[in-house]
Amino acid sequence: MLKLLFAALAAVLCFAGQTGADLCSLGSVEIDGNWYCQPVQAIQYSNVGSAGTYNQITAMNADGNCSSVPKAFSGPLSPLDEEVSLHFRGPLQLKQFAAYAPSTFGKVSHRGFPHAHRHQQLHNRVEAKGPVAEEQKRQEVTATIDGKVVSWQNNWFGESSVAAPASHTSAEAAPQEVTATIDGKVVSWQNNWFGESSVAAPASHTSAEAAPQEVTATIDGQVVSWVWNPFGASKTSTPLTKPPVTTPAEVKNADASIEAATTSYPQTKVTSQVATASLADNVDATDAASTYDRIGFYDSASQTLDNLVFLGNHGGQGSGVFDYMFGASLAYVDRDGTGGSSSPQILADTTLPSDSEIVIMLGQECGNGDCGYVRPGAIAYHGFGGADKVFLFEFSMPMDKNTGFNGDMPAIWMLNAQIPRTVQYGNAGCSCWESGCGEFDIVEALHTGSTYLKSTLHTNTPGGDSDYIERPTSGTMKLAVVFRSSTSTIHIQVLPDATEFSSSLTASEIHDFCSSSTGHQLSLFTIS
C-alpha cells in the first residue's frame, strides 16, 4: 500500500505526457550562427538517456597522453545519472544554490563546511564468523545512498551450510557491535544478522508497521536488495542529527573535532541481484520518494555553506597541481572566485567577472578510489549522483561590456564530474567529454552581450532547444532544474521570486514547479 501511495505521489512530478513542441513556428532569428525562437519560462527535454559507451580515463601519463577503457551506460537520463559537477561563468552573481536528492533511504548525516582529509566512509569492522572459506576475503563496498557516498566492509559470503542456532547465545552467533564512521561521525549498532533461520520471528515483530521491507540500492555498480527490519532504535541510542551549517565566524574553528554519536541500526543482509542500471535508474526505488531532501546549500547574503565546496581550475595556486602537460587541476577557489586558495572558502557575495568560472561539488572528498580515476594531486570531491535530483538556483547575470575571450557570456552548466577531476581544459583525450560522458548547458549566453540564454544537451544523443530564457541583467532569477528517471525528462523552470530553498521538497511542490508554465511559456524538446 505504501509503495503504491508513494508511486502515485511521484507520478505527478515533471512528466513527459505533456503535448507540444518548441515555438519556432512563431518566428526565429539567427545570431552568430545560432538560431533563437521564442522567450519562454520553461524548457523540458524528454527521451533523455540511451545506451552507449564513453572512454573512461584510467591513467594520465608523464608524456602527456592518457589511457582509457570503454565504459558502457544505459537507462533513463544516462550518462547524466552519474555524478555531475555544477559550473558557473561570469558575469554572474550566485545568490543561492540548493541540491536535492530523493529521501528513499534512511538519512545519513552530513557536515556543513567541507575540509580536507575528512573522508565520509563507513567501514564495517565486524570480523566474519563461522565456517567461511579462507579465500572469501572481505571486500570494500561503495554505495550512493540518499545522495551520500559511503563505503563499508562486505562480510556477507552467502548462506552458511551450518544452521544458525535457534537462540543467539552462542559465541559465533551472538550479536556483534559494529562501529563505523559515517560523514565524520562515529556510530555503532548491533549486527543481528545470522543468516536464514527456521525460527519464527517474535510476535512483536509481526505487526504491519514493523514488517520487514525490501530495500534496493546500487553498490559498486550493482543493484542489490536487502531486508530492512525497522524494529525501532535502542532506548539508549542517540539518533544522528545534521550538523549545523557554517558561517564565516565559525571557519576558524572548522578543524575542531566532531563529537562522536551512536545509534542503533536495523538488522540487514545484502543479497546480490542482476543489475543493468544504477539505483537512480530503478523506477521502483526512485518513485518511492514522496519528498526530496536538501543535500547541499549555499546562501551568499548570510555566507552559509552546507555540504558543498567551491572549486576552480587554479591548480598550483595554494592547492591542486599545475604542469605543462595537463595544465591546472581543480583547486580550492578564493572568496572572489577568481583564483586559487590553500583551503576551502565560502564564495563571497560578489559578482564573478567575465570568463571567471567556479565549480560546485558536494562537500565529500574522493578517497579510496570511490570517484574512479582522479588526476594525481588534484583537489577532488564527489559530484551530484543519481538520475533523480533537483537543483535550485538564484542568480543574476549583469552586463559588463567585456569583449575579450568569453566576454559578457555568462553560463550555468553541468559536466560529468569525471571531466573536471581529470582535465576540463586541455588534451581532449584526457577526459571523457569528447567520447560523450555528458554535459548539459542549462542557461548559456552564446555570444558577447547576449540576453538570450540557450540550453543544450551534449551526450551520445545530443540536442538543443532553440527557444530561450531571458537573461536576468538586473535583479535576480530563481530557476529549478528537475531530473526524473521515471519519465526520462529534464525540466528547466523559472520560479517565482518568493520561492524558498527549503530543507526538503514535497512531490506537490516539485509538481507545482513543473506545471507552472503552459502554452507559449513552455517549450518541449524531444531527444531523438
SS3 510: helix
Q: What does the pLDDT read at residue 22?
A: 87
Mean pLDDT along residues 268-286:
31
475 or 219: whose pLDDT is higher? 475
Residue 237: exposed, middle, or buried by beta-carbon count in 10 A (0-12, 13-18, 19+)?
middle
| Whole-Å CA distances, 303 to 112, 250, 503 | 12, 11, 17
Cβ(86)–Cβ(479) below 8 Å: no
CA 249 to centroid of chain Cα atoms: 28
**84-89 and 411-416 as β-strands: parallel, antiparallel, unpaired?**
antiparallel
Least confidently predicted of 61-75, 117-131, 384-398: 117-131
Residue 308 is inside which H or E element, if any?
Answer: strand 308-312
> How many residues in the chain?
528
Q: What does the pLDDT read at residue 135?
A: 33
| Local confidence band at 6 (pLDDT 50, 70, 90 cut-offs) | very low
Q: What does the pLDDT read at residue 21?
A: 81
CA 452 to centroid of chain Cα atoms: 28
| Each residue's pLDDT tens digit, 450-480 | 999 999 999 999 999 999 999 999 999 999 9
Percent share of the chain, pLDDT over 90: 59
Mean pLDDT along residues 192-207:
40
| Whole-Å CA distances, 433 to 100, 284, 331, 436 | 25, 31, 20, 5
Question: For 171, which DSSP code?
Answer: G
| Each residue's pLDDT tens digit, 291-317 | 999 999 999 999 999 999 999 999 999
- Judge whether residue 208 has pLDDT over 60: no
- Judge whether residue 282 has pLDDT over 50: no
Which residue pairs from 192-201 have beta carbons closer than 8 angstroms and sit at least 24 positions apart in sequence?
192/168, 192/267, 193/267, 193/268, 193/269, 194/164, 194/168, 195/159, 195/160, 195/164, 195/269, 196/159, 196/164, 197/164, 197/166, 198/163, 199/166
| Local confidence band at 214 (pLDDT 50, 70, 90 cut-offs) | low
528 or 359: whose pLDDT is higher? 359
Q: Which residue has the cell 572549486?
A: 311
- What is the DSSP secondary-structure string of 403-456? -STTTT--EEEEEETHHHHH-SSS-GGGSSTTTT--EEEEEE--STT--EEEEE
Q: What does the pLDDT read at residue 217?
A: 53
| Local confidence band at 368 (pLDDT 50, 70, 90 cut-offs) | very high
341 or 135: whose pLDDT is higher? 341
| Each residue's pLDDT tens digit, 398-408 | 999 999 999 99
Q: What does the pLDDT read at residue 416?
A: 98
Does 472 sit behind a cis peptide bond, omega within 30 degrees of 0 on the bond before it? no
| Each residue's pLDDT tens digit, 341-351 | 999 999 999 99
Residues 6+ apart with CB under 8 A from 393: 94, 96, 97, 412, 477, 478, 479, 480, 481
Cβ(261)–Cβ(187) below 8 Å: yes
What mean pLDDT, rounded, does the chain reach?
Answer: 74
SS3 33: coil
Q: Which residue has the cell 594520465?
A: 60
Q: What does the pLDDT read at residue 449?
A: 97
Q: What does the pLDDT read at residue 322?
A: 96
Does 79 sit behind a cis peptide bond, omega within 30 degrees of 0 on the bond before it? yes
Q: What does the pLDDT read at residue 20?
A: 53
Mean pLDDT along residues 78-101:
99
| Local confidence band at 158 (pLDDT 50, 70, 90 cut-offs) | very low
Mean pLDDT along residues 434-456:
97
